Chain A
Amino acid sequence: MATKILTEHINVPGIETFDVYRKQGGYTAVEKALKTMTPEAIVEEVKKSGVRGRGGAGFPMGMKWSFLAKPEGVPRYLVCNADESEPGTFKDHYLMKTIPHLLIEGMIISSFALGANKSFIYVRGELMYVIHILEKAIAEAKAKGFLGKNILGTGYDLELVVQPGGGAYICGEETALLESLEGKRGNPRNKPPFPAVKGLYQCPTVVNNVESIATTSWIVNNGGDAYAAIGIGRSTGTKLISASGHINKPGVYEIELGVPVEDFIFADEWCGGIRPGHKFKALVAGGSSVPILPANLALTLANGDKRLMSYESLSDGGFATGTMLGSGGFIVFDETSCIVRNTWNFSRFYHHESCGQCSPCREGTGWMEKVLHRIEYGHGHQQDIDLLVDVSKKIEGNTICPLGDAAAWPVASAIRHFRDEFQWHIDHPAEATQPGAVYRGDMALV
């Protein structure tokens, strides 16, 4: 049985209430951290654990914490990024609605470690019911003395605020999130200065994902070394994967990093295989912004080894033959999926969600979407494929925030691995525009 860190007690009835959560050993980490540990010791444990940011970028969390500037007389803030909205990613949402106290416990420990007296949970506005669940949980924790003034008599004060976002994907980018939290238009800031130096209200700020913060209570209880023992190489610990698409058992799974991708898709413990009678065609491993992989590359590395669910293994081979673990939005496609239509759909999302601040992203995402739309609906030209590759290259790396890259990678990778499918759409517009038409190699018809 694989180790469960976040979802161990998730099936206990009533786990969303304080009493049940407490009975399952909840909030012991807060007691341990606040009463027996110094903030430095907690940061040290998190560093030792090697846990990497679970929001997508995979930056070591302990290192991020140690970058926090600590000037005299200036408040520090911890902001929890719960603005999860990438297509295919729904793990934070699930965690918050089923076991809200895990996040709150993590917030208390992390805030204490960072010296923050006011912390924010920025939740996507669409998830209003989750906000109500969180607020109820916060009120319970406050009533029991785990939040507010003088927590557990240790003299540490913490106020926890849940802030609904306006429902913009770009507000999941950390600096745009801070702008939004300050009440401004959610445009990403130019970096440097980084939030660790000048973040919320120009004060040092740490922004962490829900899942990252939720792990801290286990790390405090069991020690960083125990956490580092789970997983593989530099990808330590467990990861929530939100699996969706043409699999038998879609859902949120907690896996130890290092599980082979093949096992994850086909084992009964997890996705349970591709739906009956169909073949595995392509995989988006970490949310829609990461490059798409064809079946053979998704399961094996370029050198023939099995591909594993870890940061290093998934990105093996760069973008030529690899992808990214990202936020864990695992989308599986079988042979009935049209890659062109799917790419257009992703592109449509990024076009809609671009903030419009910097020119490559503002104009480029729209351009790509329109060209893809044209190809999908049978009006593509031969030069359109190369045009898309070129436009995606001109966007990639030239924008203020990573949304430009996120928009460019799916398009560039889809053309890299499924060029013949795009070509078929251009060569056979009449067949390609039939309802449900999908390119299937030589057969090339419905």
Chain B
Amino acid sequence: MEDVKPQLLKVTIDGIEVEVEPGTTILQAARKIGPEVAPPAMCYYQPLKGSGGKCRACLVRVAAGSAKDPRPMPKLVASCLTAVQDGMVVENTTNPQVVDARNGIVEFLLLNHPLDCPVCDQAGECDLQNFAFDHGKVTTRYEEDRRTFEKHDLGPYVQLHMTRCILCYRCVFTADQITNKRVHGVLGRGDAAEIGTYIEKAIDNDFSGNVIDVCPVGALTDKTYRFKSRVWFSKPVDAHRDCPTCSGKVTLWERGEEVIRVTARKNEWNEVTEFICNTCRFEKKKTSDWVIEGPTKISRSSVISANKYRGDTIKPSFGQRLAAAEYKPIHDERDTSQLQIQQLPPERFAKVLPSALDPEP
């Protein structure tokens, strides 16, 4: 029998057309085009079933439902859950309503999340940091007291600091789906909700370490690595070992000759490709335990890749756009030829400061 090829659906995202298989979500279709149009995702995690729809960071506007029914959808939709239809037109970064909603989401997420990136263990790998960098504002309008918590030790390996938690539910889904005995969940409601084990209990199973990898912020941290180093001072290397429990395919984070941390391998969207066991993650910290494959390719995201592998992978983003918007050329009335200052060619700024080159209105 001949294989019947599923009919591909055409979807236009920010004016770029892409063909995807039926059942693909808008977020997946946008990721297929590339990071420039991919909506941010704080709670959606592709390997975890049932994740998504909670953080509302990936809201997009559907300007036309499908070719058959081209009516726009009345509200913004969560792109991580909405399946594409043939002829759908989606506005992501091009719609002011979407941009405004995302500004709002960043503001909401940062109401209770402390901006302590300089002392947070997740800095450099934090999804919220990237999200806030792209869509946030420089000031806050929140004047009230922020909620704080004591740190919880969830066993010998994992530490929970609820102050930083944004309740994405990813760790709950992870524990639910890849381990037998889930002992933690969400307690309480509204902004009093928290991740907890009800009675102070350790998360004790072979795959418990994976909750650290899926946490988008620094709420769940690796006790064997906490504050040993900043992530950008270490060098990620792909490695594997013959592990009886898991696939054994990991990324080693090396500082000099020393392995300071082991994590699962992640794809360019910061999602774990294969979950790894605690033995690989916490106990095998010698280079001799591993077969080294080569340097990890970090194709996107955060300062890990900045100035190290490919500087151009970081798009001129919020900070630079802000600088461009507030850029004021200095009026120097002196005769520069006398001062022997060489003018930099304007093209040097074109990438970073596009508006600086615009003629004055």
Q: What is the CA–CA distance of A170 and B193 in the complex, to the nearest angstrom?
A: 14
Q: How far is the CA of A357 from the CA of B172 in the complex (A)?
A: 13
List residues 204-246 of chain A with CB under 8 A from any CB of chain B: none
Q: Which residues of B contact A395 (CB under 8 A)?
A: 104
- Give bound CA distance, A364 to B108, whole Å: 6
- Contact partners of B42 in chain A: CB under 8 A: 359
Do most interface residues of chain A lie in helix, strand or loop, or is the interface mixed? helix
Beta-carbon contact of B186 and A362 below 8 Å: no
A278 at the A/B interface (Cβ < 8 Å)? Answer: no
Stretch from A63-71, A289-297, A365-373 contacting the other chain: A365-373
Contact with B along A346-389 (1 / 0, CB 8 A): 00000111111111101111110010000000000001000100
Seed contacts A357-B169, A359-B108; 11 additional CB < 8 Å A-B pairs: A353-B189, A356-B189, A359-B109, A360-B56, A362-B193, A363-B109, A394-B105, A395-B104, A397-B75, A400-B54, A400-B78
Q: Are B191 and A394 in contact (CB under 8 A)?
A: no
- Judge if A279 is at the interface, Cβ distance under 8 Å: no
Contacts A354-B191, A362-B191 known; A190 to B186 CB distance under 8 Å?
no
* CA A360 to CA B107, docked complex, whole Å: 9
A180 to chain B, nearest CB (A): 12
CB <8 Å contact, A367 and B190: no
* Residue A144 interfacial (CB < 8 Å): no
Let me know if B104 and A399 touch, CB within 8 A.
Answer: no
What are 30 of the A-B contact pairs (CB < 8 Å)? A190-B52, A190-B78, A190-B81, A351-B190, A352-B189, A353-B190, A354-B189, A354-B190, A355-B193, A356-B192, A358-B53, A358-B54, A359-B54, A359-B57, A359-B108, A359-B167, A360-B105, A360-B108, A362-B191, A363-B111, A363-B191, A366-B191, A394-B104, A394-B107, A394-B108, A398-B56, A398-B104, A398-B105, A399-B56, A400-B56
Interface residues of B in 73-105 (CB under 8 A from A): 75-76, 78, 81, 100-101, 104-105
The 5 closest A-B pairs by CB, nearest first: A394-B104, A356-B193, A354-B190, A363-B108, A190-B53
**B150 interfacial contact with A, CB 8 Å:** no
Say whether A168 faces chain B, with CB atoms less than 8 Å apart: yes
A357 and B42 CA atoms in complex are apart in Å by 13
B358 at the A/B interface (Cβ < 8 Å)? no
Chain A residues within an 8 Å CB radius of B190: 351-356, 362, 365-366
Contacts of A362 in B (CB 8 A): 108, 167, 190-191, 193
Q: Is A185 an interface residue (CB 8 A)?
A: yes
Q: How far is the CA of A211 from the CA of B42 in the complex (A)?
A: 40
* Residue contact B193 to A397, C-beta cutoff 8 Å: no
Contacting residue for B186 out of A185, A366, A394, A400, CB 8 A: A185
> Could you tell me which B residues sit within 8 Å of A by CB distance?
42, 52-57, 59, 75-76, 78, 81, 100-101, 104-105, 107-109, 111-112, 141-142, 144, 166-167, 169, 185-186, 188-193
Chain A residue at minimal CB-CB distance from B188: A356
Number of A-B contacts (CB under 8 A): 94
Q: Tell me the minimal C-beta distance from B219 to chain A in angstroms.
A: 14
Contacting residues, chain B, for A367 (C-beta < 8 A): 108, 111, 142, 144
Q: Chain B: which residue is nearest A394 at the CB level?
A: B104
Q: In angstroms, how far is the closest chain B Cβ from the Cβ of A380?
A: 11
B211 CB to closest chain A CB (Å) equals 19
Given A363-B112, A397-B75, A398-B56, also A355-B105 (CB < 8 A): no
Q: How far is the CA of A364 from the CA of B167 in the complex (A)?
A: 14
Indicate the member of A185, A353, A357, A364 with the most B CB atoms within 10 Å: A357
Contact A359 B76 (CB under 8 A): no
B141-A359 in contact (CB<8A): no
Tell which of A351, A391, A399 touches B191, judged by Cβ atoms closer than 8 Å.
Answer: A351
The answer to whether B104 touches A360, judged by C-beta atoms less than 8 angstroms apart, is: yes
Cβ distance A384 to chain B, nearest Cβ, rounded Å: 9
Report B359 CB to chain A, min CB distance, Å: 34
Residues of A near B112 (CB, < 8 A) are: 363
Docked pose: A351 CA to B52 CA in angstroms:
23
Residues of A within 8 A of B144 (CB): 367, 370
Residue of B nearest to A364 (CB): B108
Closest residue on chain B to residue A169 by CB atoms: B189
Write the nearest CB–CB distance from B91 to chain A, whole angstroms: 15
Which residues of the other chain, B, contact A168 by a CB distance below 8 angstroms? 189
Of listed B55, B141, B189, residue having the most chain A CB within 10 A: B189
Given contacts A362-B190, A398-B101, contact A357 B54 (CB under 8 A): yes
* Cα–Cα distance between A400 and B59 once the two chains are bound (Å): 11
**A117 CB, min distance to chain B CBs, angstroms:** 29
Q: Inside 8 A of B105's CB, which chain A residues have their CB?
A: 359-360, 394, 398
CB contacts (< 8 Å) of A364 on chain B: these are 108
Identity of the chain B residue whose Cβ is nearest the Cβ of A381 in the assembled complex: B143
Q: How far is the CA of A194 from the CA of B279 in the complex (A)?
A: 43
* A353–B191 alpha-carbon span in the complex (Å): 10
Tell me how far the C-beta of A440 lies from the nearest C-beta in chain B, rounded to whole angstroms.
30
Q: Which chain A residues border B185 with CB–CB below 8 Å?
A: 185
Give complex CA distance A359, B59 in Å.
12
Q: Which residues of B contact A358 (CB under 8 A)?
A: 53-56
Q: How far is the CB of A358 from chain B (nearest CB, A)?
A: 5
Closest to B53 in A: A190
Cα A278 to Cα B313 with chains together (Å): 68
Closest B-chain residue to A399, C-beta based?
B56
Residue of B nearest to A363 (CB): B108
How close is B186's CB to chain A, nearest CB, in angstroms? 7
Q: Write out the residue numbers on chain A whose beta carbons fall within 8 Å of the beta carbon of B191.
A: 351, 354, 356, 362-363, 365-366
CA distance A45 to B328 in the complex (A): 72
A108 to B126: give the CA distance in the assembly, Å.
54
The 0/1 profile, CB within 8 Å of B marked 1, for residues 394-420 of chain A is 110111100000000000000000000
Q: Which of B75, B100, B191 has the most CB of A within 10 A?
A: B191
